[in-house]
Structure 1
Amino acid sequence: MLVTRRIIFYGRVQGINFRSNTLSKAIELNVKGWVMNRIDGSVEGYFSGELRNVIDLIDYCVSDMPYAVVKRYDVYDLPYTEFPDFRIKR
């Protein structure tokens, strides 16, 4: 099943390569979308792909991301959106 999730990660998620690590893992999992820093210190992402792969990417960001301390994350289900690739938005 193809899904799109909007996720906002809070905690120590900026200045630790969170976005580039997410990009690498997304490519590995064949998840499309984007990730970007927000002005409030959080990181926002749109992840699209097979449900299992999207869940695995979220789990990686929350639990296995080097140096990150995710204190909270909000996940929003969205209508499936097809992205051409995964990228870091600036």
Structure 2
Amino acid sequence: MNIADYAENKVQSRSKYISQFTSGWDDYKGPNLDDLPGNEGEEFLERLRKSVYEGEDVKDGDPHETFRYYKGIPDGIGVRR
């Protein structure tokens, strides 16, 4: 599904996970990127934008959202269709 109109929303929502992908893992101060040391917040946003706008889900120059379909119980254990 083409998400070109909503790609920046995806970047912003993913940026709230700073505790998992930045130095916030060791020293969490909240979801504000400005609280990260130095220019780490800006670098993190740039990595996110690159993954959304240039990543593997880009088709014909537009970012896309892909979906996975599983057969089996809801936690994903099962056979992929």
TM over 0.5, shorter chain = no
Structure having the larger proportion of residues in helix? 2
Structure having the larger proportion of residues in strand? 1
TM-score calculated relative to the size of structure 1: 0.27
TM-score calculated relative to the size of structure 2: 0.29
Higher relative contact order, structure no. (Cα contacts within 8 Å, ≥ 6 residues apart): 1
